[in-house]
Structure 1
Amino acid sequence: MKKIFLSLFQDKLKSLKVLFFYLMPYRFQMILAFISLACAAVTILLIGLGLRHLIDEGFAHQNSDLMNQAMLSLTLCSLVLAGAAFMRTFITSWLSERVTADLRKDLFDHILSFDQSYLESARVGELMSRLETDISLVRSVLGVSFPMTLRSLIQILGATILLFMTSPKLTGFVFLVIPLSLTPLIFMGRRVRILTKQSQEKHGSLSAFIHEALLSLKSIQAFCQEKAISQKYDTLMMSYLDTTSLRGRNRSLTIALVIAIVFSSITFVLWIGARDVFHGQMSFGDLSAFVFYAAVAAGSLNALSEVGGEMTSAFGALERILEIKNVAPAIGSSGTTSLAPLKPPFVFYLRDVTFYYPSRPQIPALNHVSLKIEPGRTYAIVGPSGAGKSTLFQLLQRFYDPQEGSIELNGQDIRTLPLGFLRKILAIVPQEPSIFNASLWDNIAFSRPEASPDEIYKAAQLSYIEEFACQLPQGFDTLLGERGIRLSGGQKQRLAIARAILYQAPFLLLDEATNALDTESEWHVQTALDNAFKECTRLVIAHRLSTVLNADKILVLDQGKIVEEGAHNELLRLGGLYTRLAEHQFTTSCEEK
């Protein structure tokens, strides 16, 4: 018993600490809400005093003046109760919206700081479930359940005092009922909390599955897998419904037990009170007031049992939110090294770097790689799929840290540098650019929102976006749709190139940036890149070797190692992997022609 109470207390204490942290900036509104809530609770209790006065003084003595006074008092109590209820409802609703907005904002900002190693195992749908469903549950509890709990506790306390003042004997019987009423709330409430957390986790999995299915809808339809996906959805949905049904049964049983215990006990107490009235031991007004207070106490206990399940659900939701907030990013957002000595020209050094992805800890993505990246030069990175080309870019941007070796910038380990500084000097054109459901103009400006309109327009011109922008319904103001559905693959990559041009970084990372372009567009973009990044250091991951023939140095990666490096003609003379790749590509190209 002691362990159960201690565990329950510790779990809820952690959640309450977080909740009160977000409530404290609104302490004035909290005080107003508590005053209005307490005023409403006390007013309800005063109605019982007015009822006793009405019966004993008005009806019993047939005194119309006293009866009118009692009725006036009851009317005033009703008006005060209505006003207090309005204030309490308005303030708590306002407070719940503000607090959950702050909580959602902090959680969203925290998710933005997550490193890639965490996101490898996390599912977008589950994170969205915690941002939306769990926080909405907390909002509902703050706006309704929590105030109702406080009001019920005040009414139970006040009703108990007035019950004792009215009849200590009958109150003693009532006190025997309270522990019986709390027992199901304590023991079954813990079970409900566990089931609530399980149902929320299953809801998160269901949301993640729906999110993945919608993103993959074209593939699902192309491979005629609608039925299989629908069946999998049914399986996940039934698992979720089974858990919620079990939680509902437990909540319903808890409420039923509390109601049965409370009202059966009240009936017994009323029977004893009626006997006391017959024997002249208490007045009919006292019994009426006692019944009213008992009804208030019983109703408050019933309300506690009703909102107890919702409060339990909220604690389960807060636990899930805390799980996210307690995730510490493995990649720190601030460094320890002064930026004063780090001035251009910048030079990167990779010193015996070995890296394993967290999801593939047995296979090195990079294996003892050493490299010097000098300013103003163009480095081409080629090799078969899975050789570690894109991994090199991710390590330079510090989305991951190597398990062995180090990466240095001007002699400083990049792990000691602020992330903002490091990523500010690296512009990237990814293989699959992220396009937002915003205008074409805003998507270009995404990399540098503070850029002037002239700078944005120039970036669009250099990347040949202007050619297709005029064909869009609203030109640069056209919304591109979710994930840029209005654009072709080549247009998306031109947009990514425009972002990189606008970013104005000394390093340019091109991850197969022209792979989705036709030959003419590729020539235009290559010319644009040459003009826009004359002074930049360029690292180019290339699938088509024809795009890297003029690179200052070509790095050939295979199984995470640099197996060859040099200029195009030098590598051809070696007769190694690069030669085989070149022969295969150029032979295939000639056959296609």
Structure 2
Amino acid sequence: MKYTKQQLKKIHVQQLGEYACGLACLSAITRYHDGYISQEKLRETSGTTLNGTSLLGLYQAAAQVGFEAKGFEADMENLKKLDHPVILHVVVDGNRQHFVVCYGFGNGKFVIGDPAWGITSYSADELEAIWQSKALLSLKPSEKFKTSGIESRSQWQWFKTLIADDISILSVAAVVGIAMAVLGLSTAIFSQKLIDDFLPNKETEKILIGFIALFILLVARAVLGYIRGVFMVRQGKDLNVRIVKSFIDKIVQLPMAFFKGFSTGDLIARMNDSMRIRSTVALVTGDILINSLVVLISCVYVFTLSVEVGVLSLSSIVFFVLIAWRFHPQILEGQKEVMAAHSMNESQYIDALSGIATIKSFGREGVYADRINAVYDAYQTKGYNLAMTGNRFGFFTQMLVGMYITVIFGLGIWFVLQEKLMLGELMALISIGGSIIPSLAGLMIANIQIQEAKVAFSRLFEISSVENEFDEPSKLPEHTLKNSANTVLTINDLTFRYPGRSPLLSDVSILIAAGEVVTLFGQVGSGKSTLVDILQGFYVAERGAIKLNDKLLAEWGLPEWRKRIATVSQFEKIFNSTVLDNICLSNDPNELDKCVNFLKETGMEPFFARLPQGYFTCTGEEGATLSGGQKQLVTIARALYKQPAFIVLDESTSAMDFDTEREVLELLKKYCKAHATSLLMVTHRIGLAKQADRIYLLKNGTIVDAATHEQLVERDNDYAKGYQYLTQINALT
């Protein structure tokens, strides 16, 4: 192996989420070869979702990173002969799919990097028990592979941009901290002078002056502490706002594929990690700086009193550092596990509470309470393990503190008896020693917080380093963006697959003219909704083109393209606000009046007049106060108010009653003809599909037929069979 087991622990990559084991393995092998790639950058290229990833997805992602990737089926003997790390597909806990890195074989054991636990060793029998598929992914750097140290520089650059506005405040706080550290010696110095000089000589005047000076210095130290506290509170608030704003601004700019790989709880937990970073910045510029100066200044002063005690103080620092170094990996690993468990716990809360109606309907309160409690118990267990590690760290630290103070007392008394020290100097040594120890202990404990913040910072940086969905302005002049009777949307030979998966759509071609109503008809799981996502620019096709008036989607630029298309899915998001706010989606008060007038002109107003408070009816969380059909009315009105060139309805009238659906469709057809707007209805319902001017049949990811309703029912296809079945049902009733 290139590295020892201890060195492998330094390049090991912990998975950042429950489903990110494959990403962590690929990232770890990249670091093994002196490169760097974040897990979040690998997420999209590997097709990692909340269901994890596949070996094919990792293969494709590895090729993009610059590896020569090859998939094999091997046995234990083959594995022993490998001279480079490989990714193994294993099954753990009986049925859980997992990926690990095999770094090599030595001393009768396989060295395994498990992204969930760390670097460990397996015997041949132990590994064979979990490596059931015998599948592995071999990765060797190709000429395209780049070694770099960009990660640390990038993280440092990002951190500097976050604290750039705070440099002046932090500098003042640092200067104040230095002054406080110096003033902290005043009591010890005064005690020495009082015992050795003032009291023996009965210099009452100097004693009085000394007391006054000491009082002034202590008051000054208290005032400086208050001023520094004010600065740090202000800086902490501003930094926290900046970090969260940076996180939110970044999140909303990320591509849709990013969100497929994250749970809401994980994102919320990462956002809350900003508090750890803020407190650590305050810690570094405050407690750590002051404690470091106290230790430094105190040691210098101790040396002026006694070289022997000074050497003892320095040696104690070495022992403190050794203890911190010994516990550092355990603390870091424990914090990663706690944060991952916290994310899972947040996700479990959100998942269960958002589905409380289903839980109650099926009488599964106990089942989900047990699940929540189990996840929370696992989270608390991780926290307990970390706390116990910190407790052991504190125990050894306090043991060293006790030994140090005892030795200082004994050595100091011995020097007094030998007349090498005066009694006042002994008191000063004890006082200074008493300040060194808490400061050293504070520095060691601060190490725990720093490591915690480093983990939190890495989790936030992973997201900040993901490329934005777009940053280009519109590439077309304004006049080309207007609706016209000549507007045509064409999809030519489009093929698409999710990374690491088989093709979902193959050679799909569709044409939609202005004012035309077209249906995309297909069975559940045929790829209809995926095509809608591609039309919105959420995903990029592997092959083929999407054009609007002979201009490619890429030429329009995503912001302008999305202005021209409005999509309504079956379960569109309803925000916790009013009906009107959900339709106009704007913070501009003037927009509300415009929205009301628009809905009146288009004929949508009667649908909302029936609500208790009309447009100002509160929707509640996820539209809890609205029925399914009312939610769909709100989202269709939202799409119309956007005044797009194309409207896509993806099963978005399925919750409406027959009369409401008919009224809405008539209104939409009327609007589309009047405004040269095209309507694409995506459905598997024949009653809805037949109302279109033209119907495209999607089967197994391919358009197999396209014609009018009358033409299709005369042919041999799924649509005709479905229509015949409905006709027979209607005849029976």
Fold in common (TM above 0.5):
yes
Question: Which of 509, 523, 527 is the matching residue for 1:388?
Answer: 527
Aligned CA-pair RMSD: 2.7
CA contact (8 A) 1:181 1:262 kept: no
Across the two proteins, how many residue pairs are aligned to each other?
586
Q: Is residue 472 of structure 2 the alignment partner of residue 334 of structure 1?
A: yes
Q: Alpha carbons of 1:590 and 1:85: their partners in 2 closer, same or farther (altered >3 Å)?
A: farther
- After TM superposition, the structure 1 = structure 2 runs for residues 284-295 of structure 1, keeping only pairs within 5 Å, are 284-295=423-434
Q: Report the equivalent of 2:56.
A: none
Shift of 1:171: 0.5
Question: Quick one: distance in 2 between partners of 1:320 and 1:400?
Answer: 25
Question: Which of 695, 705, 711 is the matching residue for 1:554?
Answer: 695
Question: Which of 351, 359, 370 is the matching residue for 2:492?
Answer: 351
Shift of 1:190: 2.6
Question: Which of 315, 322, 331 is the matching residue for 1:183?
Answer: 322
Q: Report the equivalent of 2:723.
A: 582
Q: Report the equivalent of 2:649.
A: 510
Q: Report the equivalent of 1:542.
A: 683
Q: Is residue 414 of structure 2 the alignment partner of residue 275 of structure 1?
A: yes
Question: Quick one: distance in 2 between partners of 1:311 and 1:141?
Answer: 6
Question: Quick one: distance in 2 between partners of 1:7 and 1:389?
Answer: 43
Deviations 1:152-193 (A, max 9, x none): 111111111111222223211211211011111122023201
Q: Alpha carbons of 1:476 and 1:263: their partners in 2 closer, same or farther (altered >3 Å)?
A: same
Q: Is residue 664 of structure 2 the alignment partner of residue 528 of structure 1?
A: no
Shift of 1:426: 0.3
Question: Which of 539, 545, 548 is the matching residue for 1:409?
Answer: 548
CA contact (8 A) 1:448 1:502 kept: no
- After TM superposition, the structure 1 = structure 2 runs for residues 415-434 of structure 1, keeping only pairs within 5 Å, are 415-434=554-573
Name the SS of the counterpart of 1:563 in structure 2.
strand
Question: Quick one: distance in 2 between partners of 1:448 and 1:306?
Answer: 46
Shifted more, 486-495 versus 547-556: the winner is 547-556
Question: Quick one: distance in 2 between partners of 1:585 and 1:106?
Answer: 54
Deviations 1:48-79 (A, max 9, x none): 22222222232222211111111111111111
Shift of 1:272: 1.5
Q: Report the equivalent of 1:318.
A: 457
Shifted more, 192-201 versus 81-90: the winner is 81-90
Q: Alpha carbons of 1:469 and 1:312: their partners in 2 closer, same or farther (altered >3 Å)?
A: farther
Q: Is residue 232 of structure 2 the alignment partner of residue 87 of structure 1?
A: no
**Matched letter for residue 170 of structure 1:** V
Shift of 1:476: 2.7
Which is strand-richer, 1 or 2? Answer: 2
Shift of 1:434: 0.7
Question: Quick one: distance in 1 between partners of 2:384 and 2:492?
Answer: 58
Q: Alpha carbons of 1:476 and 1:144: their partners in 2 closer, same or farther (altered >3 Å)?
A: farther
CA contact (8 A) 1:379 1:540 kept: yes
CA contact (8 A) 1:381 1:557 kept: yes
Shift of 1:428: 1.7
**Matched letter for residue 349 of structure 1:** T
CA contact (8 A) 1:463 1:528 kept: yes
Shifted more, 460-469 versus 499-508: the winner is 460-469
**Matched letter for residue 213 of structure 2:** S
Name the SS of the counterpart of 1:435 in structure 2.
coil
Q: Is residue 332 of structure 2 the alignment partner of residue 193 of structure 1?
A: yes
Question: Quick one: distance in 2 between partners of 1:394 and 1:448?
Answer: 27
Shift of 1:583: 2.2
Question: Quick one: distance in 1 between partners of 2:288 and 2:544?
Answer: 57
CA contact (8 A) 1:36 1:84 kept: yes
TM-score, structure 2 normalization = 0.75
Name the SS of the counterpart of 1:538 in structure 2.
strand
**Matched letter for residue 457 of structure 2:** L
CA contact (8 A) 2:577 2:618 kept: yes
Q: Is residue 625 of structure 2 the alignment partner of residue 480 of structure 1?
A: no
Question: Which of 285, 293, 302 is the matching residue for 1:154?
Answer: 293
Question: Quick one: distance in 2 between partners of 1:449 and 1:340?
Answer: 23
Question: Quick one: distance in 1 between partners of 2:710 and 2:610?
Answer: 42
Shift of 1:369: 0.8
Matched residues, percent identical?
A: 23
Shift of 1:489: 0.8
- After TM superposition, the structure 1 = structure 2 runs for residues 122-271 of structure 1, keeping only pairs within 5 Å, are 122-132=262-272, 134-144=273-283, 147-271=286-410
CA contact (8 A) 2:519 2:681 kept: yes
CA contact (8 A) 2:193 2:424 kept: yes
Q: Report the equivalent of 1:379.
A: 518
Q: Alpha carbons of 1:357 and 1:393: their partners in 2 closer, same or farther (altered >3 Å)?
A: same
TM-score, structure 1 normalization = 0.92
Deviations 1:135-159 (A, max 9, x none): 2222333345652112111111111
Q: Alpha carbons of 1:483 and 1:13: their partners in 2 closer, same or farther (altered >3 Å)?
A: same
Shift of 1:27: 1.5
Shift of 1:544: 3.6
Shift of 1:19: 3.2
Shift of 1:194: 1.4
Q: Alpha carbons of 1:286 and 1:589: their partners in 2 closer, same or farther (altered >3 Å)?
A: farther
**Matched letter for residue 387 of structure 2:** G
Deviations 1:306-362 (A, max 9, x none): 222222211111122122222335x4443795557945544333221111234x712
Name the SS of the counterpart of 1:48 in structure 2.
helix
Q: Alpha carbons of 1:577 and 1:223: their partners in 2 closer, same or farther (altered >3 Å)?
A: same
**Matched letter for residue 515 of structure 1:** S
Q: Alpha carbons of 1:48 and 1:249: their partners in 2 closer, same or farther (altered >3 Å)?
A: same
Deviations 1:429-477 (A, max 9, x none): 22112111112221111179586444311344446454444542x4433
Deviations 1:524-548 (A, max 9, x none): 2123213333210111113443334
Could you say which structure has the greater relative contact order, defined with CA pairs below 8 angstroms and 6 or more residues apart? 1
Name the SS of the counterpart of 2:714 in structure 1.
helix
CA contact (8 A) 1:263 1:298 kept: no
Q: Alpha carbons of 1:19 and 1:453: their partners in 2 closer, same or farther (altered >3 Å)?
A: closer
Q: Alpha carbons of 1:292 and 1:136: their partners in 2 closer, same or farther (altered >3 Å)?
A: same
Q: Report the equivalent of 1:39.
A: 179
Which is helix-richer, 1 or 2? Answer: 1
Uncovered stretches (5+) of structure 1, i.e. residues with no partner: none
Shifted more, 577-586 versus 241-250: the winner is 577-586
Question: Quick one: distance in 1 between partners of 2:728 and 2:604?
Answer: 31
Shift of 1:575: 3.8
Name the SS of the counterpart of 1:533 in structure 2.
helix
